């Protein structure tokens, strides 16, 4: 079977689109639930929260600052997403403390 040039171009476009989606999902996974931070069913962030108690908010604040500080020099948008993740977690905790 011979593929036309149009078939080849369409196939390459579909492949690029699929590749971008897979990469986007991989980045999201590395931001929200990186596998190296989940051992034996326990997320590292949950263990840190349990161990630091009232200091957990300071831990989150430090990570927000770290990722914003380095995003231009290391991982770009991925670091901004990590900073946002920690900020969202801090907001969640502050909202839970109000109730």
At residue 65, the pLDDT reads 97
Task: Grade residue 20 by pLDDT with cuts at 50, 70 and 90.
Answer: low
Q: Give the phi and the psi of residue 43 in degrees, each rounded to 5.
A: -75, 135
Three-state SS letters, the chain: CCCCHHHHHHHHHHHHHHHHHHHHHHHHHHHHCCHHHEECCEEHHHHHHHHHHHHHHHHHHHHHHHHHHHCCCCCCHHHHHHHHHHHHHHHHHHHHHHC
Q: Measured between alpha carbons, how far is 99 from 94 in angstroms, rounded to an integer?
A: 9
Looking at per-residue pLDDT, the higher value among 26 and 52 belongs to 52
What pTM was computed for the model?
A: 0.65
């Amino acid at each position: 079977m011979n593929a036309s040039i149009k078939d080849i171009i369409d196939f390459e476009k579909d492949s690029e689109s699929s590749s971008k989606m897979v990469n986007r999902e991989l980045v999201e996974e590395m931001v929200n639930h990186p596998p190296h931070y989940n051992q034996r069913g326990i997320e590292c962030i949950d263990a840190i929260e349990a161990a630091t108690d009232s200091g957990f908010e300071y831990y989150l604040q430090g990570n927000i600052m770290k990722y914003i500080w380095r995003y231009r020099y290391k991982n770009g948008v991925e670091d901004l997403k990590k900073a946002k993740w920690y900020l969202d977690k801090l907001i969640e905790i502050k909202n839970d403390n109000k109730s």
